[in-house]
Amino acid sequence: MKKSVKKIQKILTILFFIFPGLFGLVMFKLYPIFASLFFSFTDYYVTLSPKWVGFENFKELFQDFLFLKSLQNTFWYFIGLVPIGLIVGIVLALLLVKDFKFISFFRAVMYLPSVVPIYAFAVVALNFFNPYLGFVNGILAKLGIPGPLWTSDERLVKLTLILIAQWGAGQQAMIFMAAMKDIPKELYESARIDGASKWQIFNKITLPLITPAILYYFITSSILALQFFELPQIMFGGGPNNASLSVAIYLYRHAFRYGNMGYASAMAWFIFLVSLLISLLYFKTSKKWVIYG
């Protein structure tokens, strides 16, 4: 008898501690995943109740010119943001990893833009890259180079956004830096004694030993790239001529401007499946390129 009272007490104690986490998991993660899956098979206007339509939403998606356009744009964001962010992050980390005088100042400078709110940075960047009034073309003009129409040329606007996103590269640079600091010093010393060049040292020691951090970067940055929203929405509202329209912006419009919860849920699940597939691909191939030290 006494034993079972104790057992119940123990269960209640455990529940007390983990309840918030369990509730959050069910209410804000598990339920929404399945609810949005269900909604994606329904015609669901926000003030009415959902009506089952089978695969109609998904069929419609692939005949929807704007969705296809947004998918294509998102593909380019992905292709641009993930590798360029990797290169910029690694270059910054290499520059900042060695400790010496004033290094904390330089690290702070590199990290500050990733802490500045994106809504403020977007507003500043819009003027910074303005073809006629902005800093970038102002400098180019002083050098006698006619600057491109960064923010108004349909063909360039995605590239402009990808460049602007690099001001946030301090985030991944920190992760790469931490991984680099963990590499044993002896490895570098013996390589130097063997007369290895800087490039060889980077290629044979640094790069392989930060691959776990790179795997983490690939997964997180890919998920973010697939949902690219703030910069193109605040700066261009998806324009000019839908050139910056991402799937996330198009989803936002359908869900929260037109109230088409079913159609928007189909988009959400489509992106979810793509992100699962990409994560799976990283994990599957990771055996071949990730080196756990």
In angstroms, give the least distance from the CB of 156 to other proteins.
Answer: 18
Q: Quick one: tokens of 44?
A: 């669901």
Q: What's the first-to-final CA gap in the chain, in angstroms?
A: 52
Regarding 8 and contact with other proteins (CB under 8 A), the answer is: no
Give whichever of 169 and 243 is closer to other proteins, judged by the CB atom: 169
In angstroms, give the least distance from the CB of 242 to other proteins.
Answer: 19
> Which residue from 22, 66, 68, 277 is in contact with other proteins, where contact means CB under 8 A?
22
In angstroms, give the least distance from the CB of 191 to other proteins.
Answer: 16
Contact 51, 43 (CB under 8 A): yes
How distant is the alpha carbon of residue 183 from its chain centre?
Answer: 27
Q: How many residues bind other proteins (CB under 8 A)?
A: 95
Rounded to the nearest 5 percent, the helix, strand and coil shares of the chain are: 75, 0, 25
In angstroms, give the least distance from the CB of 270 to other proteins.
Answer: 10
> Which residue from 69, 76, 86, 279 is in contact with other proteins, where contact means CB under 8 A?
279
The site string for other proteins over 121-150 (x = CB under 8 A, - otherwise) reads: xxxxxxxx---xxxx-xx--xx--------
Contact 201, 213 (CB under 8 A): no
Contact 286, 215 (CB under 8 A): yes
Rg (CA), the chain: 24
150-209 residues near other proteins, rule: CB under 8 A: 167, 170, 174-175, 177-179, 181-182, 209
32-91 residues near other proteins, rule: CB under 8 A: 32-33, 35-36, 39, 46
217-256 residues near other proteins, rule: CB under 8 A: 219, 223, 226-227, 229-230, 234, 248, 251-252, 255-256
Measure the CA–CA gap between 87 and 46, rounded to whole angstroms: 43
Regarding 265 and contact with other proteins (CB under 8 A), the answer is: yes
Measure the CA–CA gap between 113 and 167, rounded to whole angstroms: 6
